[in-house]
Structure 1
Amino acid sequence: MRVSDTLYIDPVCYMGCNPQESEIYTDYEGERYYFCDRKCKEKFLADPSRYIKPKSWWDRWLDKHIKANEKEFGPKGPECHTKLMGPPGSKC
């Protein structure tokens, strides 16, 4: 599960993983999953449905709109959002 550009959560043990430092990952159903250890990856691959929670309608709606915004405006988002909320990662 992606938390930020530099932090993913291992779906098996919920430990934080930095994708720039970890070489232990797998791609499953169009998503990349990072793991803290090869054993966690093996457990995941043995039964992925046990570790993947289905997304709610709200999460699916947000994903759809986030992808549309990134496609149209790039990773920084539309200029109006930056003016209102500051640059990405800043606190309001």
Structure 2
Amino acid sequence: MTENMRRIYGTDHDALAPYALQPGHTYVELVGGPLDGQLLDVTALTADERAGGALLVAPGSAYGPGGRADYEPRPGCATRWDWSGDVPW
């Protein structure tokens, strides 16, 4: 899958453009876990919020629907966040 053909996290599966990057937005690649390969739009997050990573709804998590996947910024790489495990919600 090419860089411009990665699904944007949070888009509906039947969305007209689930792969459309928005101009002026900042994205990170989710690496590993149930959301591997998807892009997360972090445009609205502050630097402190980005440093904290994110718990993202992941139907394919170990906890099933409603479970969350924990993604943390990769040290030294601002464009990739690594999966660190699943958590229940």
Superposition TM-score tier, normalisation by shorter sequence: 0.3 to 0.5
Considering only CA atoms, is the larger Rg found in Structure 1 or Structure 2? 1
* TM-score (normalizing by structure 2): 0.33
Write 1 or 2 for the structure with the bigger share of helix: 1
Greater relative CO (CA pairs within 8 A, separation 6+): 2
* TM-score (normalizing by structure 1): 0.32
Write 1 or 2 for the structure with the bigger share of strand: 2
